[in-house]
Structure 1
Amino acid sequence: MRLMKEIRIRLRKWREKYLNFSNRTYKIIWGVLFFIIIALTLSIDLIPDQVDLRPGQVSQSNITAPRTITFIDESRTEELRQRAEESAPRVYEEDGTVERDIRDRIDLLFDSIIEERESVLIEKLAALESPDQQVEEEFEALTDGSEPELSFSEEELGSLDSEDINLIMTNIKDEITFEISDENLETLITLPEEELEDIRTRADNLLISALSRRILPAELSSARDNISQSAMEMDISRDKRLALAEITENTLEANMFLNTEATEARRQEAVGQIEPIQNTVRQGEIIVRQGDVVTEADIEILERLGLQRSELNYFNIFGRILIAFIIVLLLAFYFHKYKKNIWEDNSQLLLIEILIVIVLLLAKTFSFFQNPFVDFLVPTAMASILLTILIDTDTALVTTLFLSMLIAPIYDMNYNIVLTSLLGGLVAIYSVSKVKERGDIIRAGLNISVVLMFLIGGLSLLQESPNWNYMIWAVGGGITNGLLVGVLANGFLPYLEDLFDMTSSVKLLELSNPSQVVLKRMLVEAPGTYHHSIIVGNLAETAAEDVGADSLLARAAAYYHDIGKLKRPYFFSENHFGAENPHDKTSPNLSALIIKSHVKDGVEMAEEYGIPGKIIDIIKEHHGTNLISYFYQQAIQENKHDDIEKKDFRYDGPKPQSKEAAIIMLADITEAAVRSKNFNKNNHDRIEGFVRGLIKDKLIENQLDKSDLTLRDLDKITKSFVKVLTGIYHQRVEYPEKLLKEMKGGDNND
């Protein structure tokens, strides 16, 4: 630790000599360097490329794997999935409306033939000069609006000339929805009704028979050929067969249609059953031999190992730099807006920046291994623990959030790693929010291991087809992450405390241990001062808790606030123990100088023993600019001239700058005054009145102006002091006189 202190001092001297800039300039310089390092970390690979090969090129040397990797062969896996998708059977459904539509077309054809033919023949018969009785009756029935039941003989049908047939065909083609040749349509028009109905029946039967076998769209052509062949094999005249064949062939449609949704679901099911093909390349294995033709598979392995030189993707690099810029800018805005104390403290900002850079560099290094175990080792929680202990919980929380977002581009936006990084950091912050000893940091690491074990396992099970081998390695990495975080945080903490002159609760606990060298010296060389410091520590700790100050800092600082008295312990009244008072032989001016020098001596001794700066500040401030009134009054009485100045009898200050320093000042004067005051200390009201008077005096003297203590805080401090002092000076139980005689008698008998 002495080494870290010397490094810090030398850096400060070097900076003051060569880089004597303002705090704002330093902030800008460190901020720019911080952004540049992050941008480079996100966009540039740390391992240099070694080869530049293309598929089909002949390798000029043997290329071996520098490490063992296991990865999913995307090309082979995709090929198998594509085959499975193509081979998955399609799902077809029968359309029941097809048969009805076909029969409607057939009926429309034959009904149109009958109607158009009747219409033409009726007109022809009506035009005859002497129509027979039957035609007249039929014509009258037609004109009456009733349904005519006409049945024309072959002679009557034969009376249709070509002009009549063409007219009928034209009208029929306008009504039907399928193609039929003029020859076959003419054949149907000239058939008697019985034969026409026979053709209709045969067409229906052929179509129903064909549709019963369920026709797919791809099978329609074949089905039409088959139904046409069946029609041509019937025992009817050739003209009728030709007409029947054309009608059935042109009206036949597929009645089985593809169900796209069900087919796609079946394909996806088939694809989901294909396990990813893993390819393992072991360390030392020859990937490409000299003289071999390089394949696509070889290139993929080289890229996985980071050995293949790839073309720069400038858009990708710019995107990563832009992400880094936005995140760094938002982080700076947060501290500037909501954490003024940190924004004004370059040491704290530098600590935050260094921890972020360390974690990102480790993440970048781990990403080259492309191994699930190593991927989940990123120690984001280490930064979370250190920032929680050294600064505060809010800073650690915000930094963890932004750090997790910066990790995302490193792992190609793998949000599983980002989520584990963020939640691991949150668990770490929660686990060390009230750390009491270094063992708590190790326990925090164990908490992280347990949470990451279940978190990574759950994320792995969310996959459609969990890779059990990957999950085992990833869970192992998460467990190791917690253990690694605990060790790293524990190891870095003391060095960061000394390098950045910060005081953690762990450090304060260690300083409060009576086994500390300076405290042991005080116990032996200045026992009265030691006892006084212990009581001041109790008073300060209790009062700090009541007003929301740092009670641990208050107690530790109270133990060390008077260590300067070790240089001349017998010049202080608490260490006289009935011996001769050395101040009787010195002048008041010299006595006052000796008394107030214990502050300067305490600062020097604290620096020598490596005491943190926060406690050194309290040592400087715990007397403020108070007047050493006893020797001042003595000097006035002894001096016959008016050349006595108060400033010579005042402490050099400064006044307390924090709540803790002010509380220790009040506790110091309260303990000393109550101890020396000759009044009944068992009287609670007397003690309270006396304490209130002491605190009121310091308030009137403006010693508390810069401490941020309110009047309400002072009232709480008073009550806290009274409670502790009452407990110290409580009335002892008196033994009955008879019992004392019995005890003495027992002693004599012994």
Structure 2
Amino acid sequence: MGFLDEMKEKISAGDLQLSQDMVTKRWIWGIVVFIILTLILTIDFIPNQVNLEVGQVSPRDIEAPKTIEYIDEDRTEELKLKAAESVPKVYEEDVTVLKEVRKELNDFFTIIKKYSNIVEVDAKKIDKSLSLTEKISEIQGKTAINVTDNSIRYLLKANAETLNYVENKTENILTRYLSRGIKSDAMKQVKEQIEREVQSLSANNRYRHVIDELIQNLIRPNLILDKEATTKRREEAKEAVKPVKKTIHQGQVIIRYGKVVVQEDIKVLKELGLRHKQVDFIAILGLALIVFIFVSVFVIYVSQYKAKIVDDEGVVALLGILPILMLLFAKIMTFLELIDNPAYLVPVAGLSMLLAILVDYNLSIMATMALSFLVTLVTGAGVAGAAVALVGGLVGIYSVSKVTQRNDLVRAGFYVSGASVLTILAFELSAPPVEFLELLKSISLGIINGIIVGVVTNGFLPYLENTFGITSPVKLLELSNPNNQPLLKKLMVEAPSTYQHSTVVGNLAEAAADAVDADALLVRVGAYYHDIGKIKRPYFFTENQFSKENPHDKLSPNLSTLIITSHVKDGVELAKKYGLPNKIIDIIRQHHAKSLVSFFYQEALHDDKYENVNEEEFRYPGPKPQTKESAIIMLADITEAATRSKVEVHSNPGKLEVVVRELIRNKLDEGQLDESDLTLKDLDKIGTAFVNVLTGRFHNRVEYPEHLAEEMKGEANSNENSN
């Protein structure tokens, strides 16, 4: 095995180890983020300051640390029970009772009359030889009424007038009470009332006793309690009772020094979160599982569809830190006084917009969906809170889809305000009764949310870009404006032709990037800065040489090559000095790859002064382009330089296309594109895009015929004379 093969194996092993280390770091970071998010959801940040029990004496004044409004469950339940008790019972009338009672009474007196010596009831004769005792015994067997022997004896001995009186009085009293209705649970009271009424009759005492006995045996309820209907009405009465709300204001003394603690005090301490709470491990496990589900779904989505995005360690760090900061903010909001719906104030849309600008639009949508539910769990806002966060976040993402300047972020904040207010209004109106002041408070929170989103996004964006090394479209747009960028202005003044060259390269690169779905804005801005190193020695480069004297004529090929290739190193140093993003620095470093400076190499080969010419000494240091964007700029750079110098192709599109495709093929054959993501199909599209741009640049101007020029000149003169 040769030396080169050994080196290749070592490099491959090193790359594999580096890849494994990166994967390990990401797993560790993911676990850390999961743990922190779970802790934010489960830990109560208010310390347990009070450990008093009922009956103890308070050793100091205890004040409320925040303003709360809570429902007095005991008082509310007491009012509900009173409301239920005040509801009258529901009874159902049994209309057959009166008929049955009358029939039983009538049958009884029919039997009495039959056995009576005074009244003959039917043709069937009663044996007159029966004794009174025997008659009583037979009557007892034939009647359904449980009447004593004495009562039957009294009736058998009574005359017709007395017998009719007893029967009529008994029937009248029964009819009157049953007509008014007798409740099933009021029989005792009714019987006592009837007994008192019978005792007031003018009849003989023995017959009053008979009447009372008959009534007591025959009377029965005809209003039957409807338990189901009664229960339903009482439940409705309970539901109609509004909860008893109590308000504890921040700073209010809830237990004074020396006071004996009662159960009500303990209740208030619990509502304020000042009582020691038993750890609910089941609830903690449930919340941890919820966080795990959302984090897992997000990680799976990223690994399946956005794997290239997380190759950047800065992006990975950002994806973990932003949700942590947002949940911490949501937790803090829950402790602010006078905020009934803290979820309405959490700027989830700020995170959405930052991720959309710095990372990826689709990924920011996924993050917004997950974070909306987690924020709701922190604040306890329910469906309305999740909806406000989600809708605001989505509107924020769409609002920054075509951001061109930082002021657009402020405008996006107002869009978020409008969306939040509309969502809040929809949910508040859908849950009557609607209190105007409460509605106004909620709407104001939605407006403030959008303002916070605009301020947070605008303020955090530059710091996040610098901290995590992420370049946003806003930053790129700012870098493309020479009026605001001293380095670009310096290039315009000190190397104007290089600046013009960079502008044309930008046009070529942007068209090619659009054709192969690369970052068009990045390649344009990268093209503006790719030759920034030429500022140091502009006159050593062909486009900036305006006199016939060429400084390279006095230099050796090796020194000329060193000066030419050093513009890459000089460009990187300038870019770092002026704080250009890493993506632009990578483009500067890679835009010549390891290309050969062929002119000076050939000169060295044909010069007898040099022996054993080393080709590597005449190459750029590299590295080769690592991304589509860097490769496109490299191809656009050589294409612009070559076609500019070949005047014969300017008016011949066919020759122009041959030259362009040959330049691209040469770079491919040299292996300069091996480490980029460009495919052969991409290279074909890039070549077509280059040809289209250059054809438009080099097209021939149409000359006006002399007679047309004279005619137009004459018209201009006549117009002046008429005026």
- The two structures have a TM-score, normalised by structure 2, of 0.83
**Cα distance between partner residues in 1 of 2:644 and 2:686:** 18
For residue 511 of structure 2, what is the amino acid of its counterpart? Answer: T
Given the alignment, which residue of 373, 384, 407 partners 1:439?
Answer: 407
- 1:99: which partner in 2? 95
Q: Partner residue of 1:222?
A: 189
Equivalent-residue separation in structure 2 for 1:169 and 1:587 (angstroms):
149
- 1:488 aligns with 456
Number of residues of Structure 1 aligned to a counterpart in Structure 2: 692
Structure 1: segments with no counterpart, 5+ residues? 1-18, 122-148, 174-178
> Could you tell me how far 1:681 is from its partner in structure 2?
2.4
Equivalent position to 2:591, from 607, 622, 625: 622
Q: Match for residue 406 of structure 1?
A: 374
Is contact 1:207–1:227 with CA below 8 Å preserved after alignment?
no
Cα separation, 1, equivalents of 2:71 and 2:577: 62
- Measure, in 2, the Cα distance between the counterparts of 1:243 and 1:711: 120
Give the whole-Å Cα distance in 2 for the aligned partners of 1:369 and 1:680: 72
2:480 is the alignment partner of 1:512: yes
SS in 2 for 1:287: strand
Cα distance in 1 between the residues matched to 2:599 and 2:655? 23
Distance apart, 1:613 and its partner CA: 1.4
Corresponding residue for residue 45 of structure 1: 44
Deviation at 1:409, TM superposition (A): 4.0
3-state DSSP class of the match of 2:439? helix
| CA 1:669–1:80: 2 relative to 1, 3 Å | farther
Range moving further from structure 2, 598-607 or 417-426: 417-426
Q: Equivalent residues in 2 for 1:676-687 (5 A)? A: 676-679=645-648, 681-687=650-656
The partner residue of 2:518 within 521, 533, 549 is 549
CA contact (8 A) 2:624 2:673 kept: yes
Report the equivalent of 1:608: 577
Q: In structure 1, the residue corresponding to 2:546 is in which secondary structure?
A: coil
Question: Of the candidates 230, 249, 252, which is equivalent to residue 220 of structure 2?
Answer: 252
Q: Does 1:591 align with 2:560?
A: yes
Higher relative contact order (CA 8 A, sep 6+): 1
Displacement after TM superposition at 1:520 (Å): 0.6
2:81–2:238 Cα contact (<8 Å) kept? no
Who is 1:350 aligned against? 317
Return the letter of the residue paired with 1:54: E
Relative distance call for 1:616 and 1:459 in structure 2 (3 A) is: same
Corresponding residue for residue 466 of structure 2: 498
Q: Find the aligned partners of 1:36 and 1:395 in 2 and give their Cα distance.
A: 22
Alpha-carbon RMSD across the aligned residues, in angstroms, is 4.1
Do 1:81 and 1:274's aligned partners in 2 also have CA atoms closer than 8 Å? no
Contact 2:572 2:588 in 1 (8 A): yes
Q: Which residue of 1 aligns with 2:12?
A: none
What does the per-residue CA deviation read over 1:147-203, in whole Å, with 9 as the maximum and x for residues that have no partner?
xx95445x4487488678657755766xxxxx73454896799799x9999988876
- Answering whether residue 691 of structure 2 is matched by residue 722 of structure 1, we say yes
Distance 1:262 1:459 in 2: 35
State yes or no: 1:392 paired with 2:388: no
Matches of residues 521-536 of structure 1 in structure 2 within 5 Å? Answer: 521-536=490-505
The CA distance in 1 between the partners of 2:541 and 2:641, in whole Å, is: 11
Query: Cα deviation per residue 1:405-448 (whole Å; 9 max; x = unaligned)?
Result: 33344334744433333333222222223322212221222122
> Per the alignment, do residues 702 and 262 of structure 1 end up closer, same or farther by CA in structure 2, a change over 3 Å counting?
farther
Q: CA deviation at 1:501?
A: 0.7
Deviation, structure 1 residue 524: 0.9
Structure 2 letter corresponding to 1:36: I
Shift of 1:384: 1.6
Give yes or no for the alignment of 1:565 onto 2:531.
no
- Secondary structure at the aligned position of 2:345 is classed as coil
CA contact (8 A) 2:534 2:567 kept: yes
Is the CA contact 1:547–1:717 (under 8 Å) kept in the aligned structure 2? yes
Q: Following the alignment from structure 1 to structure 2, what is the Cα–Cα distance between the partners of residues 470 and 412? A: 18
Q: Aligned partners of 2:713 and 2:551: how far apart in 1?
A: 41
Counterpart AA for 1:542: A
Distance 1:263 1:466, change over 3 A: farther
Q: CA deviation at 1:291?
A: 2.3
Gaps of 5+ in 2: 1-17, 116-120
Residue 30 of structure 1: aligned partner: 29
Contact map agreement 1:360 1:407 (CA 8 A) in 2: yes
Shift in Å at residue 531 of structure 1? 0.6
Q: 1:53-452 maps to which residues of 2 (within 5 A)?
A: 53-66=52-65, 69-75=67-73, 78=76, 81-82=79-80, 85-86=83-84, 88-90=86-88, 92=90, 95-96=92-93, 98-104=94-100, 107=103, 150-153=122-125, 155-156=126-127, 159=130, 169=140, 180-181=146-147, 183=149, 206-227=173-194, 245-246=212-213, 248-249=215-216, 250-255=218-223, 257-258=225-226, 260-261=228-229, 264=232, 268=236, 271-272=239-240, 274=242, 276-283=244-251, 285-369=252-336, 371-372=338-339, 375=342, 376-412=344-380, 414-452=382-420
Residues 215-241 of structure 1, C-alpha deviations (whole Å, 9 max, x = no match): 444433323444555667778887776
Equivalent residue runs for 1:682-697 within 5 Å: 682-697=651-666
**Residue identity in the other structure for 2:416:** I
For residues 582 and 217 of structure 1, what CA distance do their matches in structure 2 show? 123
Contact 1:388 1:429 in 2 (8 A): yes
Seen in structure 2, the aligned counterparts of structure 1 residues 606 and 224 have a Cα distance that, compared at 3 Å, is: same
1:633, 1:199 → 2: CA distance? 148
Work out the CA distance in 1 between the residues paired with 2:605 and 2:297: 62
Please state how far the C-alpha of 1:579 moved relative to its aligned partner: 4.2
Aligned partners of 1:306 and 1:181: how far apart in 2?
71
* TM-score normalised by the chain length of structure 1: 0.80
Contact in 2 for aligned 1:113/1:188 (Cα 8 Å): no
Deviation per residue, 1:628-659 (Å, 9 max, x gap): 33333333333587734443333333332222
Partner residue of 1:658? 627
Specify the code of the residue in structure 2 equivalent to 1:358: L
SS in 1 for 2:415: helix
Q: CA deviation at 1:614?
A: 1.6
Which amino acid is the alignment partner of residue 340 of structure 1? A
1:511 Cα deviation (Å)?
A: 1.1
**Conserved? CA contact 2:365–2:394, under 8 Å:** yes
Change (3 A) 1:635 1:184: farther
Deviation at 1:50, TM superposition (A): 3.0
Kindly provide the amino acid, as one letter, of the partner of residue 146 in structure 2.
I
Which whole-Å deviations, capped at 9, do the CAs of 1:366-393 have from their partners, x for residues lacking one? 2223542671322222222211111112
